[in-house]
A and B are shown apart, each in its own frame.
Chain A
């Protein structure tokens, strides 16, 4: 009898303690959609199957979409999402695309006809121009989403790889002196 009373009392005390701790040590954190969106690369390319990064983040948060649907985020992005959500990292879903090195687009000015269709398509306003006037891509703003290529009626937009500048040279990952397998 006494042991029952003591155990109940202990349970009550610890329960109250836990409740107080939950209130006292509560941390305000962003809703999970914000945190997922913060990990996505913001190219708004739509390769994941959703019209932009924010809808994809919302879909992940309700587990409607899987975390391996974003090619621009690549493997690092999948791993970051897996860490955040406590899920297993998976390889990138090939149906959504492949992980490619960073690219930007370049408008061939000799072929551009000034139709503004690409300007309307660009999700980050990286193309400058107006009707019947020359269009050009601002290289530093282009995210490489390639949404401007389909609308162009004269196919004057090319994809180019971004080069690394010499002063920004980074040291490569060290290669261990290989141990000979005997």
Chain B
């Protein structure tokens, strides 16, 4: 899909900084959560681990209620998705439907574990020397440790790595650009554990067979750059560079980051691997380092707990399955003014109905917003076609046209105008003077398009089966008719044969009748 010229240009990634269209400059609000060093919160009483934490199907449980599990023991598996491991050692109380921290707000199957406080690990199996190991065994190790993209999309890492390996990747981009306001977990990780990140980068580079690694960070992250470049691992590595990119939302989006680093656009409908690039979040890289060198499965992550509704905002290293209310309590509880709880950032996060919901692989931030922070439900005015949405759209779409088309269910123009390229960043929503919920409309539209695609596939299949059936019935009919004709032929043939036999019998009879007459005439001549 991408031309070889584009791939050549992509090799120059990081040498110059380009710009992407649109975007917003937002207030960061990150400092308040970066003041304390990150630590693990005390163990909660009960952990609720959902069996759907990644992009894909729900995992099948490997344990039953009443089992004792060890820390890091696999409790859910799903081919080809990311496995799920127990975050603590303890007793499985139940496997039942609970709130899952999914954007739908639906409940789903979760493994409920009561920790016994002993924190006993299973036997960890690190790869002895990853420098010599076969890249395929590295990928298998990554898969068995349940790694998924920790930037928020939770795409299974092993699948991405396999795709990158198959496609001649030359550059690995580590995404440390946390462009959404309030979220600071990646920043804290880069400040505190730069060695792990760089080690993970080297492992991933080995897996992909790539040459360069670029770690992209925002341009105001001075301490992060110092921390990364000053780490021991960095000093020992080659071809790893730290690149600063401008602080514009949504700089951290994969497509926008590729455009800024290379000046090229990912082909429509394609992936960065088309250009020979693979993007991973820095937290995923750190998790890869742990998985390969220590054998540790993915059971915890950095999460920012912040917002005007939290008394003492900070970052935690939380186990998956920790109820969000436990983290809030550890942060000093809510302030008096909390109005909404959001998982993720203020632009793309989804709201939680209750704080019973657990921390999952996709939870990078828990945001408690006060009444002033959130938009009061404004009356939705008609679109005045001001064009601000198109001005800020990083995917260069026309949100006002898309919105009108989806509203009126004109699906063909919706596809033509590129709805599938929308990254749901929320920039258009933010600037709209009429307060139209544009991103909600686009998500609905995408769902409808997907449904229609599935339906038209089913219709095509039904048509094909019907036509095949008609053809088969016709063929059977024709065969039958042929057989009849053949039999008639045979019958005719038999009749003809019989007639010939009859004729020769008659001839024989005639002959025998004429012969006795000759004999009798011969006798009379003798007297």
Binding site for B on A (CB under 8 A): 41-44, 52-53, 76, 123-126, 141, 143, 166-167, 169-174, 176-177, 179
Contacts and interface: CB of A to CB of B under 8 A. Distances in A.
B104 A169 contact: yes
Given A166-B106, A170-B450, A173-B444, A41 B459 contact: yes
Contacts of A179: 379-380
A166 B465 contact: no
A174 B441 contact: yes
Contact of A171 (B57, B379, B447): B447
Interface in B416-462: 437, 440-441, 443-444, 447-448, 450-451, 458-462
A172 B444 contact: yes
A163 B150 CA distance: 32
A132 to B, nearest CB: 21
B349 to A, nearest CB: 15
Which of A43, A141, A176: most chain B CB closer than 10 A? A176
Nearest to A44: B466
B106 A169 contact: yes
Q: Which A-B residue pairs are the 8 nearest by beta carbons? A: A170-B447, A124-B465, A174-B440, A42-B463, A171-B443, A42-B462, A176-B380, A177-B377
Contact of B108 (A53, A126, A166, A172): A166
Contact of A42 (B378, B444, B459, B468): B459
Contacts of B52: 166-167
Contacts of B441: 174
Contacts of A123: 466, 469
A123 B468 CA distance: 10
B378 A177 contact: yes
Given A166-B106, A171-B443, A124 B466 contact: yes
Contacts of A176: 380, 437
B465 A141 contact: yes
Interface in B367-412: 377-380, 409
A125 B469 contact: yes
A43 B444 CA distance: 27
Given A124-B466, A167-B52, A167-B57, 13 more contacts: A41-B462, A42-B459, A43-B462, A52-B466, A53-B463, A76-B409, A141-B465, A166-B106, A170-B444, A170-B447, A172-B444, A174-B441, A177-B380
Contacts of B377: 177
A76 B450 CA distance: 16
Nearest to B473: A120
Contacts of A125: 465, 468-469
Given A123-B469, A124-B469, A174 B379 contact: no
B454 to A, nearest CB: 9
A167 B459 contact: no
Q: Is the interface of B mostly helix, strand, loop or mixed?
A: helix
B56 interface: yes
Contacts of B458: 143
Contacts of B409: 76
Contacts of B380: 176-177, 179
Interface string B453-492: 0000011111101101100000000000000000000000
B465 A171 contact: no
Contact of A170 (B58, B108, B448, B465): B448
Interface residues of B, number: 31
B106 to A, nearest CB: 6
Nearest to B410: A83
B101 to A, nearest CB: 14
Contacts of B450: 170
A108 B225 CA distance: 68
A141 B379 contact: no
18 contacts: A42-B459, A42-B460, A42-B462, A43-B462, A124-B469, A141-B465, A143-B458, A166-B104, A167-B57, A167-B58, A169-B104, A169-B106, A170-B447, A170-B450, A173-B444, A174-B437, A176-B380, A176-B437
A99 B380 CA distance: 32
Given A125-B469, A172-B444, A167 B56 contact: yes
A50 B451 CA distance: 28
B462 A177 contact: no
Which of B108, B380, B448, B459: most chain A CB closer than 10 A? B459
A169 B380 CA distance: 26
A21 B21 CA distance: 39
B106 A171 contact: no
Interface string B27-60: 0000000000000000000000000100011100
Nearest to A138: B465
Contacts of A52: 466
Given A42-B466, A123-B466, A141-B465, A174 B106 contact: no
A124 B469 CA distance: 7
Contacts of A174: 437, 440-441, 444
B379 to A, nearest CB: 5
A125 B469 CA distance: 7
Nearest to A126: B465
Nearest to B452: A76
A2 B466 CA distance: 67
A142 to B, nearest CB: 9
Contacts of B444: 170-174
B412 to A, nearest CB: 9
Interface in B67-125: 104, 106, 108
B374 to A, nearest CB: 13
A77 to B, nearest CB: 11
Contacts of A44: 462, 466
A125 B470 CA distance: 10
A173 B408 CA distance: 12
Contacts of B463: 42, 53
Contacts of A76: 409
